[in-house]
Structure 1
Amino acid sequence: MPVETKTTCPYCGVGCGVIATVANTGTVTVKGDPEHPANLGRLCSKGSALAETIDLDGRLLYPEIGGKRADWDTALDLVAAKFSQTIAEHGPDSVAFYVSGQLLTEDYYLANKLMKGFIGSANIDTNSRLCMASSVAGHRRAFGSDTVPGTYEDLELADLVILTGSNLAWCHPVLYQRLAAAKTARPDMKIVVIDPRRTMTCDIADLHLAIRPDGDVALFLGLLAHLAKSPALNPDYVTAHTQGFGAAVSAAAMLSMPALTERTGLTPEELQRFFHLFETTEKTVTCYSQGVNQSSSGTDKVNAIINCHLATGRIGRPGMGPFSLTGQPNAMGGREVGGLANMLAAHMAIENPEDRDRVQRFWASPTIATKPGQKAVDMFKAVADGRIKALWIMATNPVVSMPDADAVRAAIEACPFVVVSDILRETDTTLHAHVLLPSLGWGEKDGTVTNSERRVSRQRSFLASPGEAKADWWQVAEIARRMGFDGFAYTTPVQIFAEHAALSAFENDGSRDFDIGAYADMDATAYGELKPFQWPQPTGRVRQETRFFADGGFYHADNKARFIAVEAPVETDRRDARYPLTLNTGRIRDHWHTMTRTGKSARLSAHIAEPFAEFHPRDAMDIGLRPADLVKLESPHGTVITRVLVSERQARGDVFVPMHWNDQFAATARIDTLVSPLTDPVSGQPAAKNVAIAARRFEAEVYGFAVSSAKPVALSADYWAIAKAEGGWRAELAFQEPVEDWTRWCRAAFGISAGIEPLGYADRQSGEQRLAFFDGERLLATIFLSRQPVAVARNWAVGQLQSPHFDLRKRFAIIAGRPGADQPDPGATVCSCYLIGVNRIISAIRGGCHSVEAVGRETNAGTNCGSCRAEIRGIIDGCLAAAAE
């Protein structure tokens, strides 16, 4: 009989419940868990494709030392000896851990315990520093604790939902679907999107404010000044539960309307409309994500938002409050265990001597870190200059994701001793490790994660551990034991979770927000059956869903919140003539982080298969760029090459580029090589949304598109980008000089033996050339070459990898690059869940399907995760507008 396992999705911070079913044949299928409170059965395209990403292709299955296989004892002994020796010779701050929101809470807890309580340094930081550290800092300044006040339900109960710096439709799709459903049920609900780009989230927005990059502080200062003079001000709440209101309002009032329009890029009419909506709508939720956090003024942005909710008392009540949307599945869990360099475990403060003493006594540890460690950007600077001499990287890929990524790569290359724990053998980071430790992946590991609304869920294993891969917590415990430390004799993750829960309750009595003491005595049976729960859950209290701060009760010493007087950052003339454009980085719908997981799925690469830079049409014209050209983007820190996308969604002067592509999937597309290591002075979070760059057309003599049954290797092209496809791979190519022998080039790139001759076509006048290689009836590879970006029916060409080719006419159709009448071209993929192309959607529209629902009934597009519904609506609008002309 098939076996079902309830687990949790490993992607974004929504924390969706997943049911994984393993058939008798070993085949795995996934579906949303209808009983999980976060998603109620919904999954996005990435979650729906999880079963396509769990193969063992490319997996790291055994420990390696210097690129050669080793046994666990040898590898662990070496790591322990190197770290111990480095500490003995240079002190505890000469070593560091760089960890990840992809770790489970149990992994995170032990890594933090080892570094801060036994090594005695706080040099442990996480890639969550890159996504939500400013939220943490803003919460702590305002609330006295890192507390998210509300729940997901508040988005559905609100009458006004403000989404600032959040492309919810693509980055948190299930929350977007919950919000869209709520608006459909209550059409009077208002939604405001604040974003320089007109993203797909704007599809459900009543108001889109195309704000200037980093204009958010000014916008919310203007709102606070407006609220202070309006009936929406709640003086009773302000007096009883807050401090600093006067200073905050005085700072806000310094911005005149002309200054506001200058700083925000918005018109007075837009500003007044937004202010009026907030003023007159009591049930208001303000959601914010990376567009707020990833800024040199990110913490001030967070506090400017919180100030407006404190001033109106709209916090902690149903349908009201500021809401931080985290980026990773366990970013919150990492915050709970102290995974950030400036925090202790269980939401205790490293700068507080009483907290340090409390944690040390609980752990019975020989020492405790007494000061904050190096935050992510500074950590890699310390690696570069030799202060950190031994580095352990767990479950993350900083050579791609860190700002100034080339400098980070150089630092890791120069570090005397680097350990990387990962599930893949070859990533941009593992290539530079002295020791590789094979970790368990999703479906294999067992533990807990916490989502954005403080809900703890189980990730359960349903697959056997491959090769000699081991849990990350086990690796940490073994290293600690070999370093001579007691207190790490764990044999199961439940022991760690129970200790984590006990620490949260230790000498707490309501003085700290994070308390899950009700689970401190948990045994293996209860852990196995654990259902999702929302903290706090103190010992002896009835389990409940809890909001914070409706009646005060903040975690500063006087139990009052703090208004923070902030000032709008002044946009200086730092952009000289060499770098006149503003780069904004972010995510796309179907890929995740650095593609080490989603890159395995052909379905997830079908929508967007190569890196792109999105330009406003006027900017593209000024630079001399046409759609589908290649563009070289430059900053003082690096250079990348991407495809050009021209779109009215983009603001003039701004360029959007996704952050996912790495050196395994593209030649020069690690976008964070362009990003400056500039950070927020409070949170240490880098600014990835406002980067000065230049752009110019990448001149190529030959452009190419290819499909291949084998993964392309040794791609000697000036530009290339590859993507998994059904039945094989696809590749985009460009060459600054023509290749002398294209047949030989294809043999090397696609692994085609010398005995197989190509079927070919060449036109000297147009410069077009096509080659196709067949093994019997099977297509091995085909390449299309042109002096211009190749115009070919790409999805149709990809489909030929799985089609038999008996007769010569079908083979010549491939050379022609277009389908015959019996093989309609589906067009570019719009719906990744069902692989529905744009041409099929247009056909349905022409057949009378004039709504998203009608298109869904006809084609299935948009009927699963719903992430493509906005794009479908745009296609409908375009077709109907063209028909009306």
Structure 2
Amino acid sequence: MKIDEAREVRTTCPYCGVGCGVLAKVAADGEITVRGDPDHPANFGRLCSKGSALAETIDLDGRLLYPEIHGRRTGWDEALDLVASTFSRTIAEHGSDAVAFYVSGQLLTEDYYVANKLMKGFIGSANIDTNSRLCMASSVAGHRRAFGSDTVPGSYEDLELADLIVLVGSNLAWCHPVLYQRIAAAREKRPEMKVVLIDPRRTMTSDLADMHLAIAPDGDVALFTGLLAYLGKNDALDRAYIAAHTTGFEGATTASALDLAGIAAATGLGEDELVRFYSLFAATAKTVTVYSQGVNQSSSGTDKVNAIINCHLATGRIGKPGTGPFSVTGQPNAMGGREVGGLANMLAAHMEIENPEHRGRVQRFWSAPAIAEKPGLKAVEMFQAVADGRIRALWIMATNPVDSMPDADAVEAAIKACPFVVVSDVLAMTDTVRHAHVRLPAAAWGEKDGSVTNSERRISRQRAFLPVPGEARADWWIIAEVAKRMGIAEAFSYASPAAIFAEHAALSAFENDGARDFDIGAYAGVDAETYEELAPFQWPAPASPSPSRGGSARALSEAKQAGRGGVRGASPPPPRLSRLAAQSSLADPPLKGEGIRFFANGGYYTPDRKARFIAIHPTAHNRTSPDYPLILNTGRVRDHWHTMTRTGKSQRLSQHMAEPFVEIHPADAQHFGIGDADIVRVSTVHGEVLVRALVTARQRSGSIFVPMHWTDQFSARARVDALVAPITDAISGQPASKNIAARVERFAAAAFGFAVLAERPASIDADYWSLARCAAGWRLEFALEAGRDWTAFAASLFGADALGETLAYHDVAGGHYRFARFAGSRLAGALYLAPKPVAVSRSWAVEQLSADHANRRGRLAIVAGRPGGNAVDRGAVVCSCFGVGANQIADAVRGGCVSVEAIGATLHAGTNCGSCRAEIRTIIEARRLQAAE
């Protein structure tokens, strides 16, 4: 891409719910670089490893660039006409509930809004749900039960102001690294700050923790109902707040009959651990409880959320600086989806689908012919309805349910059997796209233009800095064009995302006047210029004292001073909002850097404006049996994202964890005859996967962990959500992905292999394999149950028709085989086979794909699989940002670097995003222990 001059565009990261500001620099020659936006109030210039590598994920390799019908390229008119006519015909023949949209937190708010409006207001069904159902639906349900609204009370700065942070089911260091770094930086300034980690696994987040409570799976309700009882018995309640601003306290405190011994049994914790945690919580007024998927992804997730909220209400620790329950979301726009009613059981602007007054209001605002009168099918129910034929036309947008839904094999079978499936996505081949009748090419990050909302209610702009390739289009445009072809053009005649955002803001203020939490009426009159210049702002942002659909002239004037067209410049604070105190019982409007908080003085969104304590009874969730004696927990790794459709493009993000694995405690590994680096079959009643064994004492005995990222595009049999039962929380509908009964067994491999390849192989004839990008090519791990003709096997990987010289080493008796193929002076591929996991320097072998091998003698080192002479073996990559390996860090420790800071000064590791600092400290401690022995 050639442009006239370099420019730097303000945008927002497309990964987790932290919502970091990004500066994307487009050089005159078209080269793209990214860095953190120092003025963005979410990250102040920090980025994690994934955000730092964004420029490596924007190539067109594998992109879906043109509409397709049954695999045939077509034009937009034919594709859109087919979608519109098929949906219309299905509705006419089978009713509005026979169609459904499954959408995504990867959509921008404007996309989400248009999809929700079409389904709920004009099709007249609520069968629109989102993959955010899988990550934060229980938080929504818990907020609504307690507060009367889906309101996150606090702001990120509360994490820096708190004296105690309780992290529950949140591996913040890997899943929300910038928030972790903000806490770490605050603690360096205030060492008296305490951190408690509550998690069955000793994750890298434990590096920051003063106390790690290795709680039993689903023990959280017992833990926090016990805490509530402890607070009452030890005079640690804010009785004035309870009396003035809450109801139901007595019922909540008497719900749990467990004594300390009973809580210990239910949580798997010692009584002394419980007392230490309870007493610390009771004594610390400024406490924030951060919770994430370990709480939400449970059949009792909503009860867990309310058990946590109960403790904050009881102590009045809400809405004040440094206090509050804090749900951190998993996707960049999970919050934006909640705001526009992207969930099947919500209406736009945080209105309730069960409330006839709210339904009437939204219908009048939209001038819609109908409005959905009941909640639609939540995600798990939706795909069950696809399977049994109730849903006959399905549109999937920006998500990959064949990999991410529980009981994923059944979901895939349902999609394959559905009469009509539309997928609008960025990539031409995902495990879901391959089953679509119609494929619609969507714009990707860097090409899209719109807004997102992060976990602290801060709305930021995602701005385009790349041209839209091929015939790809914005999601909102695709949806609006289908709506027009369904005969509802007037309501969907949007000219730009700015027009959609203005309508969204106007609906938030429509007949509101402080009755609802979500109000951004100050932006209801936003025009294209102001929208382009929009600086990040936190809601609520109501209009002037006389609200109207025209918005506040003052707010818009102040907003126009911010950002200057998205090109880097001054970034003043969002508008001062004078009506906040009156509307929401908030403190004075924030100054720059200060967050907006809810509920310090009550003002909840229940009919009596009081919060509700929820009476919760701890229940057991023992799902194990003699056949399935272990608990499977699923989650994320540090450098990958969801199903790797983006991060899988980056070679450096693929080096830290290059293949799927199972974490297993040493005692369990010994019991089941599993050694480190063995291939393991993990199975449940729903399916099985093959993954690499990672034996570690960080894993709780009796439990195992398998990451959720690997798909059929990157591994043979590692779609772990195929193992997850479709068990959901009865209130929220969120699946229980952290407590699955499972078993493990060693896969009896006859041979193990490792290869580096300049080109991706067309096929891989192995029982287990995992493929990852690396510098100048691909790296491949594999294992086979039976041997092969290894010469033919090597040819299949290298390409049978490829020209060049092949060097080989065969130890038939020992079962060791090695091949190296050269094309001129470049390495086309190297293959290593052994009867046990291959002992080859992976990082060194990967580097050989980029090296020049004109010296024929030096080629023998590649066959040997290790550097010769004084060549350096970096070891497994620890710091993705600078490519620093474990061996380099260990060597630096031996050379006198005995702190993370010293390692950073010597190797730069840990000095960029900081996500690897906990691992660096682990290596330092391990070297110290070895030296002391």
**What TM-score, normalized by structure 1, do the two folds share?**
0.99
Q: Is it true that 1:829 corresponds to 2:877 in the alignment? A: yes
Cα distance, 1:745 vs. partner? 2.3
Tell me what 1:639 maps to: 688
* Letter paired with 2:653: L
2:296 corresponds to: 293
Partner of 1:805: 853
2:585 aligns with none
Higher mean alpha-carbon deviation, 122-131 vs 818-827, is at 818-827
Q: What is the CA distance between 1:884 and its match in structure 2? A: 1.4
Q: Partners of 2:627 and 2:858 in 1: how far apart?
A: 51
CA contact (8 A) 1:117 1:367 kept: yes
**1:148 and 2:152 correspond:** yes
Partner of 1:498: 502
CA distance in 1, matches of 2:142, 2:238: 21
Matched, 1:31 2:58: no
Q: Identity over the aligned pairs, expressed in percent?
A: 67
User: For the Cα contact (< 8 Å) 2:118–2:483, is it kept in 1?
Assistant: yes
Alpha-carbon contact 2:798-2:821 (below 8 Å) kept: no
Quote the residue 1:562 is aligned against: 612
Q: Does 1:606 align with 2:655?
A: yes
Alpha-carbon distance between aligned partners in 2 of 1:110 and 1:421, rounded to the nearest angstrom:
15
Structure-1 residue corresponding to 2:634: 585
1:415 corresponds in structure 2 to: 418
Hey, what's the Cα distance between the residues in 2 that align with 1:757 and 1:142? 70
Equivalent of 1:73, from 72, 77, 80?
77
Match of residue 742 from structure 2: 693
Write out aligned runs for 1:42-57 (5 A): 42-57=46-61
| Paired amino acid for 1:571 | H
Give yes or no for contact 2:84–2:485 (8 Å, CA) kept in 1: yes
Q: Is residue 443 from structure 1 mapped to residue 446 from structure 2 by the alignment?
A: yes
Alignment match of 1:352 (pick from 335, 346, 355): 355
Give the equivalent residue in structure 2 for 1:160: 164
Q: Is 1:19 matched up with 2:69?
A: no
Find the counterpart in structure 1 of residue 385 from structure 2: 382
Partner of 1:707: 756
Q: Which residue of 1 aligns with 2:773?
A: 724
Deviations along 1:101-151, one digit per CA (max 9) or x if unpaired, are 000000000000000000000000000000000000000000000000000
Superposition pairs of residues 766-785 of structure 1, within 5 angstroms: 766-785=814-833
Structure 1: distance between partners of 2:45 and 2:166:
25
Matches within 5 A, 1:736-775: 736-740=785-789, 742-753=790-801, 755-775=803-823
Please name the residue that 1:332 is paired with: 335
Distance 1:845 1:575 in 2: 43
1:757 deviates by 4.3
Alignment partners' CA distance in 2, 1:50 and 1:362: 39
| Alpha-carbon distance in 2 for matches of 1:457, 1:492 | 17
Q: Which residue of 2 aligns with 1:392?
A: 395
Kindly indicate whether residue 720 of structure 2 is the aligned counterpart of residue 671 of structure 1: yes
Select 2:866's aligned residue among 804, 818, 826: 818
State the SS of the aligned residue for 1:487.
Answer: helix
> Counterparts of 1:575 and 1:206 in 2: how far apart (Å)?
31
CA-CA distance at 1:843 after TM superposition: 1.1
Q: Deviations over 1:739-782 (max 9, x none)?
A: 12x23323323335254342100112211000110011110001
Offset from partner CA, 1:473-496 (integer Å, 9 cap, x none)? 000000000000130000100000
1:716-759: per-residue Cα shift (whole Å, max 9, x none)? Answer: 1111000000010000011111112x233233233352543421
Q: Secondary structure of 1:675's match?
A: coil
Once residues 188 and 807 of structure 1 are traced to their aligned partners in structure 2, the CA distance between those partners, rounded to angstroms, is: 59
**1:103 pairs with one of 104, 107, 114:** 107
- 1:82-97 correspondence to structure 2 within 5 Å: 82-97=86-101
1:230-241 equivalence runs, <5 A: 230-241=234-245
Partner of 1:138: 142
Residue identity in the other structure for 1:666: S
C-alpha displacement at 1:713, in angstroms? 2.0
Cα contact 1:758–1:771 (8 A) shared by 2: yes
**Structure 1 residues 813 and 212, CA, compared in 2 at 3 Å: closer, same or farther?**
same
RMSD of aligned Cα (Å): 0.8
Q: 1:570 Cα deviation (Å)?
A: 1.5
**d(CA) in 2 for partners of 1:736, 1:617:** 25
Q: 2:517 matched to 1:468? A: no
1: CA distance, partners of 2:762 / 2:797: 5
Q: Deviations over 1:813-839 (max 9, x none)?
A: 000001012321000000000000011
CA–CA distance in 2 between the matches of 1:412 and 1:476? Answer: 21
Decide which of 813, 834, 849 is 1:786's aligned counterpart.
Answer: 834
- State the SS of the aligned residue for 1:503: helix
- The TM-score with structure 2 as length reference comes to 0.94
The corresponding residue for 2:174 is: 170
2:34 partner amino acid: V
CA deviation string 1:74-94 (max 9, x = no partner): 000000000000000000000
* Equivalent in the alignment of 1:879: 927
Q: Could you tell me which amino acid in structure 2 is paired with residue 85 of structure 1?
A: R
The amino acid that maps onto 2:639 is D
Q: Tell me what 2:887 maps to.
A: 839
C-alpha separation between the residues in 2 aligned to 1:66 and 1:53?
28
Rounded to whole Å, the distance in 2 between the matches of 1:296 and 1:802 is: 49
Give the superposition deviation at 1:69: 0.2
Aligned mate of 2:701, from 642, 646, 652? 652
SS of equivalent to 1:705: strand
Contact map agreement 1:713 1:750 (CA 8 A) in 2: no
- The secondary structure found in structure 2 opposite 1:614 is strand
Native 8 Å contact 1:773 1:780 kept in 2? yes
1:524 aligns with 2:524: no
**What aligned pairs does 1:186-225 form with structure 2 within 5 A after superposition?**
186-225=190-229
Q: Distance in 1 between matches of 2:403 and 2:65?
A: 23
Deviation at 1:228, TM superposition (A): 1.3
* Contact 1:743/1:758 (8 A) holds in 2: no
Could you tell me whether the CA contact under 8 Å between 1:100 and 1:127 is conserved in 2? yes
Report the Cα distance in structure 1 between the residues aligned to 2:331 and 2:243, rounded to whole angstroms. Answer: 37
Deviations for 1:477-529, whole angstroms, at most 9, x for unmatched residues? 00000000130000100000000000000000000000000000000110010
CA contact (8 A) 2:711 2:718 kept: yes
Q: CA deviation at 1:627?
A: 0.5
Counterparts of 1:123 and 1:856, CA distance in 2: 51
Residue 547 (structure 1) aligned with residue 551 (structure 2)? no
2:903 paired residue number: 855
Q: CA deviation at 1:564?
A: 0.3
What is the total number of aligned residue pairs between the two structures?
Answer: 882
Q: Decide which moves more: 755-764 or 67-76.
A: 755-764
For each residue in 1:848-870, what CA deviation from the matched residue of structure 2 results, as whole angstroms up to 9, or x when unmatched?
Answer: 10000000000000000001001
Report the Cα distance in structure 2 between the residues aligned to 1:753 and 1:781, rounded to whole angstroms.
14
Q: What stretches of structure 1 of length at least 5 have no aligned partner? A: none
C-alpha distance in 2 between matches for 1:467 and 1:708:
30
1:239, distance to aligned residue in structure 2 (A)? 0.8
Distance 1:549 1:571 in 2: 33
Question: How far apart are the structure 2 equivalents of 1:348 and 1:746?
Answer: 60
Which amino acid is 2:83 matched to? V
Q: What's the counterpart of residue 551 of structure 2?
A: none
Tell me the residue number matched to 2:665.
Answer: 616
In structure 2, what is the equivalent of residue 571 of structure 1? 621
Query: Quick check: 1:130–1:294 contact (8 Å CA) kept in 2?
Result: yes
1:126 equivalent to 2:141? Answer no
CA contact (8 A) 2:861 2:867 kept: yes
Instruction: Give the equivalent residue in structure 2 for 1:680.
Output: 729
Letter paired with 2:879: C
CA contact (8 A) 2:296 2:302 kept: yes
Asked whether 1:403 is paired with 2:406, we answer: yes
CA distance in 1 between counterparts of 2:29 and 2:764 reads: 37
SS in 1 for 2:369: coil
Match of 1:378, as an amino acid? E
Question: Match for residue 912 of structure 2?
Answer: 864
Farther-moved stretch of structure 1 (817-826 vs 429-438): 817-826
